Amino acid sequence: MIELIPAIDIIEGKCVRLSQGDYNQKKVYNENPVEVAKEFEDAGVKRLHLVDLDGAKAKHIINHKTLESIATKTNLTIDFGGGRKTDEDLRIAFESGAAMVTGGSIAVKDPEVFTGWIKKFGAERIILGADVKDGKVAISGWIENTDIDLFDFLGKYRESGINKVICTDIKKDGMLQGPSLSLYESILQKDPETYLIASGGVSCVDDIVALEEKNVPAVIFGKAIYEGRIKLKDFERFL
């Protein structure tokens, strides 16, 4: 059964969504992210993907108080992304209640630091964020493109012990046009043991079913919930 991981993206302490990572295409859905997290938990969800978009832009954690509030007021297992550049950032994230942290830009810009995190905190607590555009890795909140091939990037960190990977197709994110099924299928064909977390493009329950049929282990989705295309009661069939 595919694991459902709803997303809460935070700007200025509010629950928002961007389109294709564009900070100028921001829509606020709720002023209280804790309230949203509780609704997810009440629907039976166990996991939450929490992204500090302010932190991603500032290159250090900003919204750790929001993380702490959700962690103390729910029993959700939280993976936290955005704004971690140093060991101190990770310390803050873990002490604020994150069970796992996601690193993407840092894995590109400073691989020694990222592999150091794997050794220091354990591979089970570190998720590789692999954001992709046209087969190449993108970083810095998707503001910056690179020439790094996605499959080379994934292979390198699998050798370093990483098992969990969040892969987001930027062209799909926030567009509600369906996920990149062929991309995820290719990743799993190369390495079926990867705990691949699909992200971007989910528009309805059928998209989740399609990912499950491709044996994708987990899926992150947000905008489809906030726009009412997926209802909380729809979670039941997957839980």
- Residue 210 in 3-state DSSP? helix
What is the total residue count of the chain? 239
Residue 232 one-letter amino acid: L
Nearest to residue 142, comparing CAs of 231, 28, 20, 16?
A: 20
- Annotated catalytic, 169? no
Q: Which two tokens stand for residue 40?
A: 């997810």
Residue ranges of alpha helices (H) inside 14-140 are 33-42, 53-58, 64-73, 87-95, 105-109, 111-121
* Cβ atoms of residues 53 and 173 within 8 Å: no
Q: Which two tokens stand for residue 96?
A: 């604020």
Nearest to residue 62, comparing CAs of 33, 92, 86, 91?
A: 92
Dist. CA 115–CA 117, nearest whole Å: 5
Phi then psi dihedrals of residue 84, to 5 deg: -100, 115
- Annotated catalytic, 147? no
Dist. CA 72–CA 191, nearest whole Å: 36
Catalytic pick from 9, 79, 169, 173? 9
Catalytic pick from 54, 79, 131, 169? 131
Place of tokens 């292979």: 155
Nearest to residue 131, comparing CAs of 59, 69, 56?
A: 56
Active site residues: 9, 131
